Amino acid sequence: MFATVFFIIVFLTNFSIVGTEMRLKRLSTHVLYCENFLPQKMLDDVYMDILQNRTKFDLEQWGDGSNTFDGVSVQFLNHNCGGMGFWIGPEDQQKMERTPVLSLNEYFFHQGIISFATQQKNMVFVDTITRPMSFSVHYIAYNHGGYYNWHKDKIDGTIFTFNLVLNKGNKLKGGDMLFMDDGEMFEIPNQDNIMVAFPSWVDHAITPLESDDGKDVPFLEQRFSIQYQCSLDGQK
């Protein structure tokens, strides 16, 4: 399904946030990447949050099946995503107690990340993160056979995406992130506790996942994505 991808990841800059193992890298003009993103206690809490919400995961839906990308009407098919997921929108968040996942903005919008993006002159990121915004939270679980075909997140006013990847089981092969940015294609290997931030108009995909025995792995050993899809206040 996916073309062979030549690895062109160039780590232009490293930036460590004092007191953590969080290491930020810029992978392309617009894509920021961070290893060991959450401290262990917060990581454990996020996994518990996912477990408590396991009954909410369902087949991904694409509205009425039509939308417009770059001025061109296209047909979205449900098989665009081979994962299970659910959303928590801004209005729903106001009715809920703070959960570990709904507290991730304290990590996504960390001063160290803002400083790193400023030093890298990634002004799309800086302009977004320093303005009043709201965000929709998207949980996605990928088991054996899961994937996400090429797409953009720029829907309903979304302008920036923070994506936390969780994969503590390591029993699934594949699940790498593919990006196309400024005419270049690159790949981010599937790992546990990494964060990728990018403008929502950047094309990206998830390569298919497979288990050794061709069967689903236990729930918490799947590959999870926790996305914050950000919109400027008043635009969604």
What domains are defined for the chain? 24-56+80-232 (2.60.120.620)
The per-residue pLDDT for range 39-89, each reduced to its tens digit, is 999 999 999 999 999 999 998 765 444 455 555 555 544 457 889 999 999
pLDDT at position 86 is: 95
The per-residue pLDDT for range 170-209, each reduced to its tens digit, is 899 999 999 999 899 999 999 999 999 999 889 999 999 9
pLDDT at position 104 is: 94
Tokens of 140: 């996605």
Burial class (CB in 10 A: 0-12, 13-18, 19+), 42: middle
pLDDT at position 148 is: 92
Write the CB contacts of 17 (distance below 8 Å, at least 6 apart in sequence): 24, 110, 112, 113
Q: What is the DSSP letter of 41?
A: H
Nearest one of 166, 38, 156 to 90, comparing CA atoms: 156
Tell me the C-alpha to C-alpha distance, in Å, between residue 195 and each of 6, 69, 147, 159, 211.
Answer: 22, 26, 18, 17, 24
Query: Torsions phi, psi of 127, nearest 5?
Result: -65, -35
Averaged over 219-229, what is the pLDDT? 96
Distance separating alpha carbons of residues 107 and 96, to the nearest angstrom: 19
The per-residue pLDDT for range 85-121, each reduced to its tens digit, is 999 999 999 999 999 999 998 888 777 777 877 777 7
Chain Cα centroid distance, residue 162: 5
Tokens of 181: 């940015």
Averaged over 158-181, what is the pLDDT? 93
Nearest one of 137, 164, 141, 172 to 54, comparing CA atoms: 141
